[in-house]
């Protein structure tokens, strides 16, 4: 039975079937894919959903809060005629929301400045500005060797049990717009963070809330939390809602926004789950063939736009199943994004935090955000030299495992010492240790001074003369 309500929304009385978070409606009339839907149950309570599939005589709807308790005969469906729009405003900073943008911190509902489509709009490539300014995280391995540039998207590849949540918390608490070494500016008044968590445990969510609140960082953070026991369907909406707020803050309010999303693997698992329930033909490891375009639609909502003073930078975090970097999720992500930061289980097992393996890590836009007038003139060459030296350390360690450390040559023995010092003094930081870019670069020079000058082939003579052995 079909009728129209007073607002003109199409109402369907009764549904045909329910399967998990999906409900089927026969003969719905004219409806569209991705159309926003209100589901009114027998208790007159309203749930939100969206049209997932449209056929000639049916429509399939995914229910964000799950279909438990829905009565086939007494449930009513109201089609809105548009995609899901969410309220966005500056007042959402300092607040905590669930995965669909409803406040869960006990405070009042923020006043909406506007309602925005969660699907956003792709940025026209011709309207993009090239990223040129860096974001300081206070973490040496990122700031010195994998510098995050404003408007860039760089994922963190982790594994189960590796402290990526602790790293995410540290980045949110410490991140700021970078200043030239030794110079402090007030640019950070316009720097804010949007944090989205998908499928996380309650204790992890509580840890995030406590860390942000006690550090004072929460005042500049909008949190979106989808918990492990929340519906998987809601997980698919959470990053879109978070990015919708980020776009409003960046391109309407001219703010610089860092978006941290964890764990994108949980998002992809929800994507696979819904795809399987729809009976779609699976692709690699059971994931839908459109996972690439789905992730690209999220990651490409990043950048700077001509005519706007704001920017969006993304730092998505994903756990690699079985630590397999060739798994479809990290593999596809690597093609879309502009580098990656890889966490090492070996370093983590050595109790080194943050366990960032600098060798497979990469920031493709780093060169445009560092150097004279941005960080320090020696930074590009210094980073290259650190990478080369630590790469040689791996060869030396392999040789030492065969012939013994005592049998190494004099230069290789110095590399052996350098490698240990690099991991203990440069990679290792306390979770609350916030290093300035100057401190990070000075530590790097102190470590490179353990090697003979003749080995520093990627540094200029003037740089060696100025910094070698001086810190």
Q: Has residue 186 got a pLDDT over 70?
A: no
How far apart, in whole angstroms, are the C-alpha atoms of residue 274 and residue 154? Answer: 27
pLDDT band at 1 (very low <50, low <70, confident <90, very high): very low
Could you tell me the fold of the domain covering 2-83?
Elongation Factor Tu (Ef-tu); domain 3 (2.40.30)
Q: Has residue 8 got a pLDDT over 70?
A: no
pLDDT tens, residue by residue, 283-302: 889 999 999 999 999 999 99
pLDDT band at 26 (very low <50, low <70, confident <90, very high): confident
pLDDT band at 32 (very low <50, low <70, confident <90, very high): confident
What is the average pLDDT score of the chain?
90
Q: Has residue 454 got a pLDDT over 60?
A: yes
pLDDT of the residue at 6: 35
Q: What percentage of the chain carries pLDDT values higher than 90?
A: 64
Give domain limits for the chain: 2-83, 86-366, 379-467
pLDDT of the residue at 13: 66
pLDDT band at 4 (very low <50, low <70, confident <90, very high): very low
pLDDT tens, residue by residue, 348-366: 999 999 999 999 999 999 9
pLDDT of the residue at 19: 81
- Using DSSP bridges, classify how beta strands 339-343 and 58-63 pair: parallel, antiparallel or unpaired: unpaired
> Of 224-228, 305-309, 386-390, 392-396, where does mean pLDDT reach its minimum?
305-309
pLDDT of the residue at 7: 45
Q: Has residue 5 got a pLDDT over 60?
A: no
pLDDT tens, residue by residue, 110-136: 988 899 989 887 788 888 888 889 999
Q: Has residue 10 got a pLDDT over 50?
A: yes
CATH no. for 86-366: 3.40.50.12240
pLDDT of the residue at 2: 47
Model's pTM, two decimal places? 0.90
Q: Has residue 185 got a pLDDT over 70?
A: no
pLDDT of the residue at 137: 96
The reply to whether 86-366 shares the fold of 2-83 is no
Mean per-residue pLDDT, 460-469: 92
């Amino acid at each position: 039975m079909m009728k129209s309500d007073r607002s003109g929304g199409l109402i369907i009385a009764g549904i045909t079937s329910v399967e998990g978070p999906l409900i089927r409606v026969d003969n719905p009339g004219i409806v569209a894919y991705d159309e926003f839907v209100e589901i009114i149950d027998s208790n007159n309570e309203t749930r939100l959903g969206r049209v997932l599939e449209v056929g000639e005589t049916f429509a399939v709807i995914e229910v964000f809060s799950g279909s438990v308790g829905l009565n086939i005969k007494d449930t009513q469906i109201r089609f809105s005629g548009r995609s899901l729009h969410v309220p966005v405003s500056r007042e959402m900073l300092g607040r905590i929301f669930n995965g669909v943008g409803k406040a869960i911190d006990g405070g009042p509902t923020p006043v909406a400045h506007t309602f925005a489509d969660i699907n956003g709009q792709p940025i026209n490539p011709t309207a993009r500005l090239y990223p040129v300014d860096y974001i300081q995280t206070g973490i040496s391995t990122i700031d010195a060797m994998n510098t995050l540039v404003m408007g860039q998207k760089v994922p963190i590849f982790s594994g189960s049990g590796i402290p990526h949540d602790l790293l995410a918390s540290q980045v949110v608490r410490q991140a700021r717009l970078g200043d030239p070494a030794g110079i402090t500016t007030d640019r950070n008044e316009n720097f804010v963070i949007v944090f989205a968590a998908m499928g996380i445990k309650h204790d992890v969510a509580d840890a995030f809330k406590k860390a942000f609140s006690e550090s004072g960082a929460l005042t500049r953070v909008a949190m979106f939390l989808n918990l492990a026991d929340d519906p998987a369907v809601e997980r698919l909406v959470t990053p879109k809602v978070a990015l919708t707020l980020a776009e409003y803050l960046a391109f309407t309010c001219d703010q610089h926004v860092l978006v941290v999303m964890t764990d994108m693997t949980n998002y992809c698992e929800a994507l696979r789950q819904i795809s399987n329930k729809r009976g779609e033909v699976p692709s690699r490891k059971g994931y839908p063939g459109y996972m690439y375009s789905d992730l690209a639609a999220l990651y490409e909502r990043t950048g700077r736009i001509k005519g706007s003073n704001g920017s969006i930078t993304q730092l998505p975090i994903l756990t690699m199943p079985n630590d397999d970097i060739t798994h479809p999720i990290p593999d596809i992500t690597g093609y879309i994004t502009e580098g990656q930061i890889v966490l090492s289980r070996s370093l983590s097992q050595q109790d080194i935090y943050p366990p960032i393996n600098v060798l497979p890590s990469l920031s493709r836009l780093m060169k445009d955000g560092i150097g004279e007038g941005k960080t320090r003139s020696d930074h590009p060459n210094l980073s290259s030299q650190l990478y080369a030296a630590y790469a040689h350390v791996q060869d030396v360690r392999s040789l030492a495992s065969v012939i013994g450390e005592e049998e190494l040559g004099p230069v290789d023995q110095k590399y052996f010492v350098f490698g240990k010092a690099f991991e203990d003094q440069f990679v290792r930081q306390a979770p609350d240790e916030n290093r300035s870019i100057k401190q990070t670069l000075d530590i790097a020079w102190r470590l490179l001074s353990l090697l003979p000058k003749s080995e520093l082939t990627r540094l200029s003579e003037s740089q060696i003369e100025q910094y070698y052995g001086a810190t």
